[in-house]
Each structure stands twice: as C-alpha cells, then as structure tokens.
Amino acid sequence: MTTTPRRVAVKVPATTANLGPGFDTLGLALSVYDELDVQVRDEPGAHVTVHGVGAGEVPTDESNLVVSSMAYTFEAMGRRMPGVNVTARNTIPHGRGLGSSGAAVVSGIMAAKGLLQGDVEIDADTLLRIATDLEGHPDNVAPALFGGLTIAWLTTSGPKQKRLIVHRGVAPLVFVPQFTMSTKLARSLQPASVPHEDAIFNVSRSALLIAALTQSPELMLAATEDKLHQNYRAAAMPETAKLVTLLRNAGYAAVVSGAGPSILVLADGPGQRLAAAELVATQADTPWQAMMLAVDFKGATVTPVDDDERLAPESR
C-alpha cells in the first residue's frame, strides 16, 4: 500500500523577469534559494517559522503565502489539506525584483505536490497553471518551477512555457539596493498602449535576446534594449534608472530586474562581470550589494524526508 509522505523538503530559486525587452514573457532562474521543511501534524491549521529574509515580517499562520498556495493546490486537486508545521529558510530578497512572491507561491505548490505523492500526481502543466492562477502571470513562476531561461505565454487552454539552456558564457550579476519597490506600483506606471514603433523595437530585441542568451553572448548589450516598461517606471526608482544608464553607457548589458529596484547585468564572461562590479563599487551614489550568481538549471525541487530525516532522491 502506497503511503503519502508526512514530511518534505522544498528548494526554490530566485528569478529575474523581463530581462529588458521580454516584458511579461522572459524569465531566468538564479542561484539564490528559499528552502522549506514542511511536516504534517495531527492538529488542523498551520504554523510557520521563518529564518532569514522576512523573519518577523511575514505572517506565520494560514495567511502566509506559502501556506495559502499549498491550500489552494490541495483544493485544486480535490483533497483536504492537513495541518502543517512549516520552517522557512529564506535568502531571496523581498520587494527587490527577484521573484520572492513567485518563489513563495511555487514553494507552497511544490510542498503540496510532495505531500500528495502517492495519492495524486501533479504534472508540469498543472504546476504552471496553478502557479499562474496564484501569481497572475507566468514570467516569474515558470523559471522558478523549471529552471534555466523560460519563455512563457498564455493561451485559451492555459499558460505554456518553453525552457532553454543558457550559454555557459553568460555570467549574471545582480545589484540589490537597500530600498524596495512595489510590483503593484511599478505595473501601475505602464501605459495602456504603446507606439507601434516601440512594439516593433521590442519584438526585434526579444528575438535577438534569445539568440544572445543561448548562442551569442557578445550580442547582449544590443539585445537588452527596451522601450516598453523601464523608461515608464524610471521616475519611481531614480537610483535604479541612474545606475542602469551608467552601466549601459559603459558597455554593460544592464536592465531592471523584474519590477525593480534591483539591477541585472548579463555579462558575457567572468571578467566583464568583475569589471561591472568594480564600476558600481567606485562610481555609484548609493549602496548596492553585488551578487555574482549562476543560472539555476534545476528549478524547484521537493524531496520526501523519512523518519530518520535522511533525504530521499529529489523529484519534480
């Protein structure tokens, strides 16, 4: 008789969306992670313990985004969610444009997937559909779920995604400021329509960006040009806009990470990445934390934990 796990471990990467011209479409998984330990308990309800980012700030009951995403997934699968104790170890910065809310949503979904193993199997399309239902759009949740570079789009039958392998020469660098940015505010600054020539401009750059990220990193500066969203949001985060301009004028492929205010630099090698970090360290007017990262190729994982707390092989 198959039994469902009573304890699972979850690991979900940070993400950066848009990548310049690929507004609401392109996303990249990065090597910064939030991790969960979720254990079924006999009592109903949920209790969350948070270590690291968000400790003392995020809810620790059923209203926690991880727990509510878990509950939504159980309901979507026609099952009642058990009581759980959740321990979160967070390293993804909140409110900085690195997909922290998407990671929380995906963490809850993956925890539910793990706890339902042996009872209900949740395939990749269903994972993406549930995550998009909860997050509102798939550009952050797709790379969080599947890793690598993802192209996400919506159809009448639901969200879809294609995962691509990033060229090994691409070296991501993220500059994280001390201040935050509301995604809701950032999106409210977008116009309802854009000029025809701007739309054409971004279509060409998005196509070029796929080539740059997968085959030709030397094209990255031209490929990350954008006219659809960054300029409209610049007034809300002037420090970010100023640093993006400084970096791009110096030849670095810098863009706003997601809704901001962090900045992503897609360097075409470790040497260029180090040079960009040195430029910011010596010329930026405000403090920025430089994070030299790798592309995460694995995406979210969930692992059953046995009674001896030994990890079983990872599953997706």
pLDDT tens by residue, 216-261? 999 999 999 999 888 888 888 999 999 999 999 999 999 999 999 9
Q: What is the mean pLDDT of residues 301-314?
A: 69
Please give the full DSSP string across 5-57, using - where no structure is assigned: -SEEEEEEEEEEE-TTT-TTTEEEEEEEEEEEEEEEESSSSEEEEEEETTTTT
pLDDT, tens digit, 9 for 90 and up, residues 195-214: 999 999 999 999 999 999 99
Q: Is 100 annotated as a binding residue?
A: yes
**53-100 confidence digits (pLDDT tens):** 999 999 999 999 999 999 999 999 999 999 999 999 999 999 999 999
Do the annotations mark residue 47 as ligand-binding? no
Q: What is the pLDDT of residue 181?
A: 76
State the DSSP H helix or E strand holding residue 148, giving kind and residue range, or none if neither. Answer: none
Q: What number is the average pLDDT over the span 148-159?
A: 96
Is 51 labelled as part of a ligand binding site?
Answer: no
pLDDT at 2: 57
Cα distances from 238 to residues 36, 96, 125, 251, 264, in angstroms, run 35, 14, 39, 20, 16
Backbone angles phi, psi at 260, to 5 degrees: 85, 180
CA angle 259, 263, 264 (to 5 degrees): 105
Per-residue model confidence (pLDDT) at position 312: 45
Mean pLDDT, the chain, rounded, equals 93
This prediction's pTM: 0.93
Structure tokens at 115: 């706890």
Compute φ and ψ for 31, nearest 5 degrees.
Answer: -85, 55
- 96 annotated to bind ligand: yes
Domains by residue range for the chain, with CATH = 7-164+296-304 (3.30.230.10), 171-292 (3.30.70.890)
Q: What CA–CA distance (Å, rounded) separates 38 from 41?
A: 10
Tens of pLDDT along 283-306?
999 999 999 999 999 999 999 998
Question: Which residues fall within 8 angstroms of residue 31, CB to CB, at 6 or more apart?
Answer: 13, 14, 293, 294, 295, 296
Q: Is 95 annotated as a binding residue?
A: yes
Does the annotation list 101 as a binding residue? yes
CA dist., res. 237 & res. 186, Å (int): 9
